[in-house]
Structure 1
């Protein structure tokens, strides 16, 4: 929906307007429709920018030489309440509270009604004003009321406090950096760099994690000093003494399975909760479309959404020469079954190569693959969509990945560990079995299956000291040693925390917002998640059938060809491209990387010889990331 930024001077008030303007305009793609600023010393001052829809206040450029304690910056992508009344930064009627808000609160109308009954008045139809008044009424407890995706900051000019919060799953990003003089935050890491307050340097621990898990594990990033506010957390910054208080306000509800549920009960619960989630996300004052890959999750959402939006645009990405990745036929079967407004676009390597700088910029750190979200998001913008639904989350909640099938094998091997260690290493399968048997807990097992480079290779590859990453997942995401009903649930938990909360949310947000499009995720509605966690595992994986209960819902809505299709995943044909159209580009990038004296070049050569496209592209993207952000 938007881009937000903020700068707080800790000790003495100095000029911050220029840096704030640089940060805010760095995010123009996140909010091309409006621009606004708040500057605060002893009293709040609203100022405007070149793109502001209100014109009667001082321009930000006229404040560059003035000293301030704090500043907020805002870029707006208008989705709900298209009038000037939704302009931000927004204040309450008393001018005590000021907010910059990025995201959507889907149940804001219900909360607004409750607030009106408590005596609050409203001048807009925006969800932002609801968030502001909810904070006035309930303070941090207001977070419990919200169903949505969000990252926002509220200034209380009486208490001299800044409140910053992020949604439960981490759909909307919030990064921050602080030194002895200042605390700054933003929707993107690039905006923090563009402030010129922060000089980018490599965070080696974050880069090691990136090579292991495809992304630095939050709150870590690949930039030294930049942190991510964790999902389901809020932060309070005391302007009087510069103290920071950070708390978690929600947790994934593990160990809540209702084992008494029948299959019919489970089916009804999932379908009703999913319909409710989708209907919430169709609420907008602009056109809403949907991604429809051809797989079960996104196709089911597309059909369900079409029952409310009869002519909803359903976008499918295809590959004419790569049937291995192509799901166009399955998507078309369902589209024809329901008369959907089906739009197909075909990907090619030329489009990727000419936009590689934009892709690296959007990623903000190395990534071992080329994301299809770039092309899909561009496709949405080309079809005049400001909002799209996505099917992300189904595999993580219902067990759609191969790792769920490997749980039984792992438990069997653990019980035979002593016997396995006596066997000679005469076959690769024996070596793999021995390795699996060594993992003591589910966090280590999860890490094994979500690895690009293992710790041994990372130690050989990097010339600096490497911090062990084998226990990173469990230490970061389960420090309280939560109880799980079973191992299936534990894998789902870590998938939501690490794969969804870090990797998937970054790519869907960064690429959609790059094209000024908002991505909405019905399967990651927190009420839906809480519903799914009540469903017994036996209905999520029934025998050899993965995602069983979701498929039972889906078969009411989608074509049999979609239901019966083996999992492909929406990926680009990178392994072909790096050996053909991108071959020269890959060679040049790796040659530059070898000249940096960061890595062991012999290990790089060994990796290249494996022809493993993900490992090769990890090296390529690392070079491109260094060129873009560090040099």
Structure 2
């Protein structure tokens, strides 16, 4: 885990200050390199090669190529041996140096040789370019600013919200996206002229011409012609876990008693040679997973650590939490992640987590409902013969049914398909809140079909990469901790994505592969229904955060695209305890977005 930043002009103080704002990502070492053309910086959390030889930014032998790198390359050892045979000399054991020599040998195609999570920028002084890349699954974030003659990049959005050289007005479309989805599913952000590099994407900034070229080097969609082989799948999972345990620092594991984290934890215990540490968080007034985490920890024999989170703890650190939310996401699960990461940092520097299990292995309920509706012909019938007006009274009362209806109606129309099922509230309620009758998200994923069969792939590129991976990165880096997600290892993902949806779920449950694996170890956990964190946002909003929520609602009146009185109606339903879970999530979303804008001093009209 590191923080990276850079600009296309010489200014040591500016880049040093950009890095200073994100030193929580890498408190062990910092560096800045400046020449007549660019300035790049890095703050490093030491994971592999703890010596000064791993210092960044790092260069090749003659200083013509420099890199600032965030992430881990799990196949660095095999790549190093290959490059040494090709005549390259290494001065460190850091995986960073493998990328430099790989770039010298293979050029831009180096990204196709890497297995890991990364966000990096390479400065090639001879070719006069900056080469940026983000890993296939979007595990590590990378933002860039581009306007006229200025180009800059950073691991976090806050850098562009605070530095006067980049301080930009709010992008209304980006703000609207966040209010509707709780994150930005597109490459746009809440700030004008600041963008996200997409998963599996590389970008070249040509320093002479000031132009940009982007290219997607990986597509997670596969023909559904894979052959089901559970032994091969288990080998892929085992290998992914082993690779993710490579570190020169202690490694732990988050557990909740759910399928994903349980399998990761079991394989962690089977393969890790150091002291075993597991971590679980529970809530006062909410879903408490500690009992199941304890069952798992006892079974695999770890040093188990627990945290109980309450609203007062959240209120005390609310301003700090807004800072780390980074104007990018609003997921309430960020908060337990943040607090349990602070606990874990007392014992380890790296943690494993089960993030990605739902999107890769078919865990969401809506996969099952929509898939089997299509199999029996119900989807086709609805699209052809059921007009919206006929069901409007029902759709107005049932959020889940409304989202399913609009998803089915828009199969084949990507942007409307995404809006159908990924929005916090269904279209029936969105049109009452916002002046958005013609709103279309800025999503640009033409390589992914708007097809129910491919919903996991779509969620991997959007929901997982642009929301949950951001949540994991920002909440753990805030505690100077690195989270690794072995269920997103790309060979594993590639294989599972080649299997038809019907292999991954049945009428009763999803993730049938993972459930079968866990059943052979702990049947009582394998039989559990999916719950998730169950963060008690309702309790927090009514008690410890009630003043913050009231303030956010008052401030939201300044947003011209919100219809007068519409949010107050939801707030009154919340006060009378008649709000739906989706409406409750929308109020939380509003609180974090408005709070973040205030935290960074933005005024809006």
TM over 0.5: yes
For the pair 1:522 / 2:486, whether they are aligned, the reply is: yes
CA RMSD of aligned residues (A): 2.3
TM-score normalised according to structure 2 size: 0.91
Deviation digits for residues 375-433 of structure 1 (CA, Å, limit 9, x no counterpart)? 2222222x232111110111111111111122133650431455433985585169857
Shift, 1:211, TM fit: 1.8
Aligned mates of 2:72, 2:390 — CA distance in 1:
58
Q: Does 1:592 align with 2:555?
A: yes
Query: What is the CA-CA distance between 1:448 and the residue it aligns to?
Result: 2.0
Shift of 1:205: 0.8
What is residue 74 of structure 1 aligned with on the other side? 42
**Whole-Å separation in 1 of the counterparts to 2:388 and 2:162:** 57
> Residue 376 of structure 1 aligns with which residue?
340
Matches within 5 A, 1:172-191: 172-191=140-159
Following superposition, the deviation at residue 296 of structure 1 comes to: 0.7
> What is the alpha-carbon distance in structure 2 between the residues aligned to residue 591 and residue 368 of structure 1?
22
Q: Which residue does the alignment assign to 2:26?
A: 31
Compared with structure 1, are the counterparts of its residues 99 and 114 closer, same or farther at alpha carbon in structure 2 (3 Å cutoff)? Answer: same
1:145 to 85, 95, 113: 113
Alignment of 1:438 with 2:409, yes or no, is yes
Asked if the contact 2:362/2:501 (under 8 Å) is kept, the reply is no
Counterpart of 1:335 in structure 2 is 297
In structure 2, how many angstroms separate the alpha carbons of the residues matched to 1:108 and 1:207?
39
Q: Over residues 431-459 of structure 1, what are the superposed CA-to-partner deviations in whole Å (9 max), with x where a residue is unaligned?
A: 85765653343744443222113456545
Separation in 2, partners of 1:492, 1:231? 15
CA contact (8 A) 2:365 2:509 kept: no
Unaligned runs of 5+ in 2: 575-582
SS at match of 1:589: helix
* 1:333–1:597 Cα change, 3 Å: same
Match of 2:569 in 1: 606
Write out per-residue CA displacement over residues 500-540 of structure 1, whole angstroms, 9 at most, x where no aligned residue: 01001111111111111011000111111012123343331
User: Does the residue aligned with 2:100 lie in a helix, a strand or coil?
Assistant: helix
> Which of 445, 453, 457 lines up with 1:493 in the alignment?
457
Q: Helix, strand or coil for the counterpart of 2:532?
A: coil
- In 2, Cα distance between the equivalents of 1:243 and 1:429? 47
TM-superposed CA distance for 1:320, in Å, is: 4.5
Counterpart Cα distance in 1 of 2:70 and 2:428: 41
1:426–1:352 distance in 2 versus 1, CA, 3 Å? closer
Match 1:449 to one of 414, 421, 427: 421
1:19 alignment partner in structure 2: 14
Deviations 1:123-164 (A, max 9, x none): 100000111000000001111110011111111121212211
Residues 270 and 550, structure 1, Cα contact 8 Å, conserved in 2? no
Cα distance in 2 between the residues matched to 1:24 and 1:170: 21
Cα separation, 2, equivalents of 1:511 and 1:595 = 30
Contact 1:331 1:562 in 2 (8 A): no
Matched residue, 2:281 = 317
Aligned residues of 1:370 and 1:574 also touching (Cα < 8 A):
no
Does the C-alpha gap of structure 1 residues 88 and 428 become closer, same or farther in structure 2, counting only changes over 3 Å?
A: same
- Alpha-carbon shift at residue 340 of structure 1 (Å): 2.2
Matched residue, 2:536 = 573
* 2:326 is the alignment partner of 1:364: yes
Q: How does 1:270-289 map to 2 (within 5 A)?
A: 270-289=233-252
1:428 aligns with 2:400: no
How far has the Cα of 1:176 moved from its partner?
Answer: 0.8
CA contact (8 A) 1:101 1:128 kept: yes
Cα 1:16/1:455, change in 2 over 3 Å: farther
Equivalence for 1:326 = 288
Aligned-partner SS, 2:533: coil
CA contact (8 A) 1:333 1:561 kept: no
Q: Can you give the 5+ residue segments of structure 1 that lack an aligned partner in the other structure?
A: 10-14, 42-68
Residue 597 of structure 1, CA deviation: 6.0
Q: Give the secondary-structure state (helix, strand or coil) at the position aligned to 2:516.
A: helix
The 1:226–1:422 alpha-carbon spacing in structure 2 relative to 1, beyond 3 Å, is closer
TM-score of the aligned structures, taking structure 1 as reference length: 0.87
Work out which of the residue numbers 238, 241, 260 in structure 2 matches 1:297: 260
Give the equivalent residue in structure 1 for 2:580. none
Q: CA deviation at 1:304?
A: 0.7
SS at match of 1:541: coil
Question: How much has 1:247 moved relative to structure 2?
Answer: 0.8
Q: Distance in 1 between matches of 2:587 and 2:169?
A: 23
Q: Which residue of 1 aligns with 2:190?
A: 222
Match of 1:194 among 162, 168, 171: 162
Residue by residue, what CA displacement relative to the aligned partner does 1:189-214 show, whole Å, maximum 9, x if unpaired? Answer: 11223332111321111111112221
User: Residues 500, 423 of structure 1: CA spacing in aligned structure 2 closer, same or farther, 3 A cutoff?
Assistant: closer
Higher mean displacement: 509-518 or 570-579: 570-579
Per the TM alignment, residue 102 of structure 1 is displaced from its structure 2 partner at its CA by 0.8
Q: Distance in 1 between matches of 2:200 and 2:493?
A: 14
Report what 1:616 is aligned to.
587
How big is each residue's C-alpha offset from its partner over 1:525-573, in whole Å with a ceiling of 9 and x where there is no partner? 111101212334333113423111111112223x222111111111311
Q: CA deviation at 1:460?
A: 4.6
Alignment of 1:157 with 2:139, yes or no, is: no
Structure 1 residues 20, 582: closer, same or farther in 2, change over 3 A?
same
Are the aligned partners of 1:313 and 1:340 in contact in 2 as well (CA < 8 Å)? yes
